[in-house]
Amino acid sequence: MLSPGSGNTVIKSKLISRRMFLITAAKAVVMVGLVGRLISLQINQATKYKSLSDKNRFREWKLAPERGAIKDFFDTKIASSEPLYQLHLVPENAKDLDNLFVRLKAILNITDRKVSYLKRVIKKQKPWEPVIVSENLDWSDFSRINLFLHELEGVEPIVSVARTYPDNSSAHILGYVSQISAKDLQTKEYLKELAVPGMAIGKTGLERKLDQQIIGKVGYQRYEVNAFGKRIREIKIDEGQAGKSFKTTLDYEVQKYTNELLKDKAAAVCVMDVYNGDIVSLVSSPTFEPNEFVHGLDKAYWNSLIKNDKKPLANKALSGLYPPGSTIKTLVALSALENKIIRPLDTFRCKGKIELYGEKFHCWEKEGHGIVNLRKGIQRSCDVYFYEVARKLGVDRLSETAKRFGLGKKVLNDFIEERSGVVPNTKWKKKYIGQNWYLGETLHSGIGQGYFQSTPLQLCLMTAQIANGGFEIKPRIIFDEKNDNLRKYLKHKNENPNEPLPTDLLVSNFYLKPLFKNQEHINLIKDAMFSSSNEPGGTSYRHRLENPKFTFAGKTGSSQIKRFTEAQREAEVKQESLPYKDRDHALFVAFAPYKNPQYAISVLVEHGGSGGKAAAPIAKKVIQKVLERHELRRSVNNQIGESV
């Protein structure tokens, strides 16, 4: 076998070559397979893999756009985006973290807790990801940091933009912005493409209503990143687009003034232009500090808001529901006149109480008002008179009028916090309570108690629509130079007193919707309200303004929290001596000036006792303030040209 015999060798050599040929063929097949695979990956699927590679390569960081400003009627910014000084730290740039924190603690006011929190964050993150040491530095801290910057390696002072409010006077109507939440992302379609982590979005009030337009267009920075997510270099930057700014109908001066008046009370004030529905002022008290919400709320502050019995977070003017009390008597009277149930001079005798359907119904005046007609009924707010009127009118006709004047439904668009209230009638009770209407309940409804629920805004609208002669207006907060039809109509009518056209044609020419059958009825109510505020015996006579420029006509109201027991009635228990929680809510609605109505106001003071004592004095001051600024307001309104 060891002999390399030529025959053997040749056979063997041939065998080897034959087998090698087989192997070579197999190799060729594999080679072709490899080339095929290359064709498949690099030619057929190149586009797919190029995009995957780009996805690997580039990462985009969205840039939060600057939020649009919200201005008042006089273009004062009441919510703006202001520079904000922050301190970031990039751990990989710091040589000695412990030492750095010691230095920072010496310069800034950082707690040990914050430092240990930051250290934990740093451990979790990649070393090149910045941590925010301080969200909001004041200018002196910021300049001090910049002074020592050379010895604080790894620290980066950053100038960013954040929502800023000049004060808390308009906190409720403006609302606040806060960090975007997972729920926001789910429920709000427009946020899907512009969600930037850490971006503040509107959570309540106007900030929420206008969010989609005010938020702006998101920009982005495109970076090349490595496999670990570290940014290598910036490829492209798009600054995005700042959000749209909005001008509102609010008067910041009045807001501040009213807010100061209501301080520490649980109260709400709403002031409205009676001709175009412009909301001049809308204040709820106690207020809260909206700036606190922008950078993550302090827990202690949040708890203090939540635990406060006066509910500072609720916008009482929009979402507070209160029985309208005697303020509804204006509509009861109007409804009765319109439905020809009574005539103005029809009288009833008030003896302090009546007994009907086996129940005693008391007038607030224990001694009774004697002979009472419509004017006196409203002036003195005689309950017995309105029991009689309501009994004859019936709740269904009353509810129809009340609804027509804006009660029982939402008045503004898109304010999630606004509530619609209740205007009860027989159908409503059947549907929601499942019981038949009792006649006694009609009497309670006639003085605005029972099932009646309304917001101060609704009461203000009701008053405004009486004041303007009974035309429908749509309350608004966003300034709109158009849609001032009612003023144009009145101007036209005053300039052409002899125009032969019938009123209803004029009305339709100006797209107006009258709420009355006979405008004379509206005037009767207005006159009665005048007497209530300006004639002796009127419920708010003590708080009248005598200067005819400011004279207002109003109606008091108090909505009962707890029914008086017979014993309390006998003992003539005063509201002031009741525990705070049991006192009535004080209400007051008015319009001014009486001769030439411009503004309507509603005031609510929770547990304030009687409307005449608690609410009317506030209304008086606010009315004076608003009217003092009326000329200024009109002059701005007339030179509109600047678009916002």
Partner 1 sequence: MLQPRSIQSSLGIRDKILSLDFILVISILLLGIISMFAMYSTDGGEFKYHTNSHILRFFVFFGMFFVVSFISIRFWHETSYLIYVGVFILLLGVKYFGLTSSGSKRWLDLYFMNLQPSELMKIGLILFLAKYYHRISIEGINSFRYLILPITVLIAPVILVATQPDLGTSILIAAGGIVVAWLAGVRAKFFTLSGLAMLALLPIAISFLKPYQKSRILTFLNPERDPLGAGYQIIQSKIAIGSGGLFGKGFLNGSQSYLDYLPEKHTDFIFTLFSEEFGFFGSLFILLLYALILSRIIRIGHMTRSNFGKLYCYSFATAFFIYVAVNMMMVLGLLPIVGSPLPIMSYGGSSMMAIMFGLGIVMSCKIYKDVPVN
Q: For residue 26, is it left (φ>0), alpha (ψ between -120 and 50) or beta?
A: alpha
Q: How far is the CB of 231 from partner 1 (least distance, A)?
A: 11
Residues 102-131 that bind partner 1 (CB under 8 A): none
- Establish if 1 lies at the interface with partner 1 (CB under 8 A): yes
C-alpha to C-alpha distance for 256 and 261, rounded to whole angstroms: 9
635 burial type by CB count under 10 A (0-12 exposed, 13-18 middle, 19+ buried): exposed
> Rule CB under 8 A: is residue 237 a binding residue for partner 1?
no
Q: For partner 1, which is the closer residue by CB, 32 or 149?
A: 32
Contact call for residues 245 and 70 (beta carbons, < 8 A): yes
**17 interacts with partner 1 by CB under 8 A:** yes
- We find the least distance from the C-beta atom of residue 224 to partner 1, in angstroms, to be 7
Nearest approach, Cβ of 307 to partner 1 (angstroms)?
Answer: 46
2 vs 159 by CB, closer to partner 1 = 2
- Report in angstroms how near the CB of residue 59 gets to partner 1 at its nearest: 11
Beta bridge partners of 223: 59, 234
Candidate list 147, 232, 505, 571; residue touching partner 1; CB under 8 A: 232
The answer to whether the beta carbons of residues 524 and 331 sit under 8 Å apart is no
CA proximity to 348, closest of 443, 463, 424, 451: 443
CB of 128 to partner 1, least distance (A): 14
Sheet strands side by side (includes 553-559):
279-285, 267-273, 599-605, 585-592, 553-559
In angstroms, rounded to a whole number, what is the distance separating the alpha carbons of residues 513 and 465?
A: 11
Q: Closer to partner 1 by CB, 29 or 573: give it.
A: 29
Residue closer to partner 1 (CB basis): 9 or 146 = 9
Among 13, 116, 143, 186, binds partner 1 (CB under 8 A): 13
DSSP 603: E
DSSP string covering 560-595: -SSPPPHHHHHHT--GGGS-GGGSPEEEEEEEE-SS
- Window 567-586: residues binding partner 1 (CB under 8 A): none
Instruction: Give CA–CA dist 576/590, Å, rounded.
Output: 24
Compute the distance between CA of residue 176 and CA of residue 293 in angstroms, rounded to an integer.
7
Say whether residue 34 binds partner 1 (CB under 8 A): yes
- Give 46 or 433: the residue with its C-beta nearer to partner 1: 46
Cβ–Cβ < 8 Å for 326, 556: yes
Sole binder of partner 1 in the list 56, 109, 509, 518 (CB under 8 A): 56
Judged by beta carbon, residue 1 or residue 300, the one nearer partner 1 is 1
* Least Cβ distance, residue 17 to partner 1 (angstroms): 7
Helix (H, G, I), strand (E, B) or coil at 622: helix
Residue 491 makes contact with partner 1 by CB under 8 A: no
11 near partner 1, rule: CB under 8 A:
yes
Spatial distance between the Cα atoms of 457 and 271, rounded to a whole number of angstroms: 8
* Residues in Cβ contact with 129 at an 8 Å cutoff, skipping those fewer than 6 apart: 90, 91
* Beta carbons within 10 angstroms of residue 258's beta carbon: 30
Q: Should residue 505 be labelled a site residue for partner 1 when binding is judged by CB under 8 A?
A: no
- Please tell me whether residue 158 adopts helix, strand or coil conformation: strand
Check binding of 235 to partner 1 (CB under 8 A): no
Cβ closer to partner 1: 46 or 573? 46
Question: Does residue number 308 form part of the binding site for partner 1 (CB under 8 A)?
Answer: no
Give the interface segment with partner 1, choosing from 18-26, 194-202, 255-263, 336-344 (CB under 8 A).
18-26
- What's the token pair of residue 631? 């000329």
Q: Smaller CB distance to partner 1: residue 57 or 629?
A: 57
Instruction: Give whichever of 43 and 300 is closer to partner 1, judged by the CB atom.
Output: 43
User: Measured between alpha carbons, how far is 300 from 320 in angstroms, rounded to an integer?
Assistant: 25
Query: What is the rounded CA–CA span in Å between residue 544 and residue 123?
Result: 68
Q: Are 254 and 262 in contact (CB under 8 A)?
A: no
Residue found by looking up tokens 């267009």 in the block: 217
| Per-residue x/- track, 192-231, partner 1 (CB under 8 A) | --------------------------------xxxxx---
Angle at which helix 519-534 crosses helix 329-338, to 10 degrees, equals 150
Site string for partner 1, 36-55 (x = CB under 8 A): -xxx-xxx-xx-xxx-xxx-
Task: Count Cβ atoms below 10 Å from residue 139 Cβ, excluding itself.
Answer: 9
Q: How far is the CB of 40 from partner 1 (least distance, A)?
A: 9
- Is 632 one of the binding residues for partner 1 (CB under 8 A)? no
Q: Does 76 bind partner 1 (CB under 8 A)?
A: no
Stretch that binds partner 1, among 23-31, 237-245, 558-566, 627-635 (CB under 8 A): 23-31
Contact window for partner 1 (CB under 8 A) among 17-25, 60-68, 346-354, 415-423: 17-25
CB-nearer residue toward partner 1: 22 or 182: 22
CA dist., res. 381 & res. 534, Å (int): 14
- Write out the residues near partner 1 by the rule CB under 8 A: 1-2, 4, 8-9, 11-13, 15-17, 19-20, 23-24, 27, 30-31, 33-35, 37-39, 41-43, 45-46, 48-50, 52-54, 56-57, 224-228, 232
